[in-house]
Amino acid sequence: MSTLVEQAGKGNYDIARGLRFYNENGELPADARRIWAFVKEDEHDIALAFARRYAASSEVCPEDKSPERIEALARDLMICLRGRFENLGRPEWTGFIGDTVNRAAQRDITLSTILAAVSAETEAIFASLRRRCDDEATIVSLARAISEIQAIATDCYVHHSLAISRREAEEMQKEQAARFNEQVMGVVQDCTSDSDKLRQQSTRTAAAARGMLGKTSEVAAAAEQSATAMREAAQTAAGLIRAIEDARTEVEGAAKVASRAGEEARDAVEMSQALSGHVEAIESILGLIRDIAGQTNLLALNATIEAARAGDAGRGFAVVAQEVKSLASQTARATDDITAKISAITAATRQTVDSNASIQATVEEVQVSADRIRTAMEQQAQTVTTITAAVDETALAADSMSSTIATIRADTEQVAHDIDGVEQGFGRFSDQIARFRDTTRAFLSRFAA
């Protein structure tokens, strides 16, 4: 048969069950009345033994140690004693025990102090019985009954104490759940906000990359036009002086095109540098996300520890905490993947900046060459062969520039594609955070129920 302490926290003390447990021969209520007939003259001394032992504890505040308070407690206890021995089977006397435990709990007095007072009360009952009864056989017979009655009283004290402990634990559990919800929701809100900002930044970066792609196309077209003009100039230079003049005109037009190409190349350099700045900003924000994922993982670890301390009651909480840890790990992995992609973007951006700088330098060389050609045409109209060679060389430079710009265009397209992937990754991260938030809320609802 299980002990009566297992009833703790399930409501009022079940005196009927206590009698079934301790009253095996069915004579305990009658024995209680016989005991009371002997000891009732000493009920004040018995109650006073309880009160004095209770007040002697270091846990009891000084004002409750006064003779007046001790006497008041003894008078209240006399009612409980009388009810316990005269009407053992009735529950009224257990109410005093419940009140005593509640008052003790409010004053941070432990159950050990109460049980020590019960022990002093029991000793006083035995002492009274020995003084009032001359028959040793009767004393032996009733001594067992006293032990069983006091055991029922002890069970009642323990029952009410555990019920209070359970209520306090439930309140603490609710408070911890509320604090955990506040902390987790704060982290989720921060993650969501940062993710939205990063997604917006990646969108702007992608738009800038596509804008640079359009500018690169214009530069490529200008380079192709320059190459065509140079070829035409070479063919014209093989003719008459009129053809040379026409070639000079074409060279001047090519110089203007080269000037525009230089301006476009400078714009491309500035756009590439801006893209590099955006990429560095993304790397900084990714570091923040990685830190947040680490904090989330640490929270999950703390939650797992708290769930382990909670035993069976925290088993479900441990599952969710594991899910939290898994989500944090996924976030960290996703952030690492994004970091790798950003590194690739950074390398491509640097290459773009270098290539655009090369384009700008080449365009400036084209402008210088065009100026030299124009001057040479004015001074030496008859040096057609030399001019033709210079024009052919310029055409080759234009072809090289066109090929370089084609490479830049391909790299820029890859940058835009990678940034789109980053934006999609942030979208998936936001979805995971939302699922984590909903799962946590559902768990806390069950945990607090």
Question: Residue 3: its pLDDT value, please?
Answer: 43
- Region 362-384 average pLDDT: 72
Q: What percent of the chain has pLDDT over 70?
A: 85
Radius of gyration of the chain (CA): 47
Q: Quick check: 5 pLDDT over 50? A: no
Position of tokens 């994004």? Answer: 338
Closest to 176 in 3D by CA, of 336, 55, 73, 313? 313
Distances in Å between the Cα of 79 and the Cα atoms of 73, 84, 213, 270 are 10, 9, 95, 94
- Region 433-443 average pLDDT: 81
- The residue with greater pLDDT, 233 or 261, is 261
Q: Quick check: 424 pLDDT over 50? A: yes
Question: Residue 40: its pLDDT value, please?
Answer: 95
Q: What percent of the chain has pLDDT over 90?
A: 20
Burial (CB count <10 Å: 0-12, 13-18, 19+), residue 385 = exposed
Beta-carbon contacts of 283 under 8 Å, excluding residues fewer than 6 positions away, are 339, 342, 346
- Structure confidence at residue 383 as a pLDDT band (50, 70, 90): low
**Rounded (10°) CA dihedral 175, 176, 181, 183:** 120
- Structure confidence at residue 11 as a pLDDT band (50, 70, 90): low
Beta-carbon contacts of 346 under 8 Å, excluding residues fewer than 6 positions away, are 276, 279, 280, 283
Of the listed ranges 69-78, 358-367, 409-418, 425-434, the least confidently predicted one is 358-367
Cβ atoms of 198 and 335 closer than 8 Å: no
Of the listed ranges 55-64, 122-131, 406-415, the least confidently predicted one is 406-415
Beta-carbon contacts of 299 under 8 Å, excluding residues fewer than 6 positions away, are 183, 184, 187, 324
pLDDT digits (tens, 9 = 90+) for 126-168: 999 999 999 999 999 999 999 989 898 898 889 988 888 888 8
Please give the structure tokens belonging to residue 400. Answer: 């090289």
- Region 274-300 average pLDDT: 81
- Region 84-111 average pLDDT: 87
- Domains plus CATH for the chain? 4-134 (no CATH), 172-448 (1.10.287.950)
**CA 407, 408, 412, 418 torsion-angle sign:** positive
DSSP H helical ranges for 87-135: 92-106, 111-132
Question: Residue 282: its pLDDT value, please?
Answer: 73
- The residue with greater pLDDT, 239 or 155, is 155
- Structure confidence at residue 8 as a pLDDT band (50, 70, 90): very low
H/E/C letters for each residue in 188-216?
Answer: HHHHHHHHHHHHHHHHHHHHHHHHHHHHH
- Region 278-302 average pLDDT: 82
Q: Quick check: 230 pLDDT over 70? A: no
Cβ atoms of 278 and 270 closer than 8 Å: no
- The residue with greater pLDDT, 86 or 8, is 86
Task: Give the span between the Cα atoms of 121 and 111, in whole angstroms.
Answer: 15
Question: Residue 237: its pLDDT value, please?
Answer: 61
Q: Quick check: 113 pLDDT over 90? A: yes
- Structure confidence at residue 218 as a pLDDT band (50, 70, 90): confident
Task: Give the span between the Cα atoms of 5 and 14, in whole angstroms.
Answer: 11
Q: Is 235 left (phi over 0), alpha (psi -120 to 50) or beta?
A: alpha
Question: Residue 92: its pLDDT value, please?
Answer: 79
Beta-carbon contacts of 19 under 8 Å, excluding residues fewer than 6 positions away, are 28, 29, 88, 89, 152
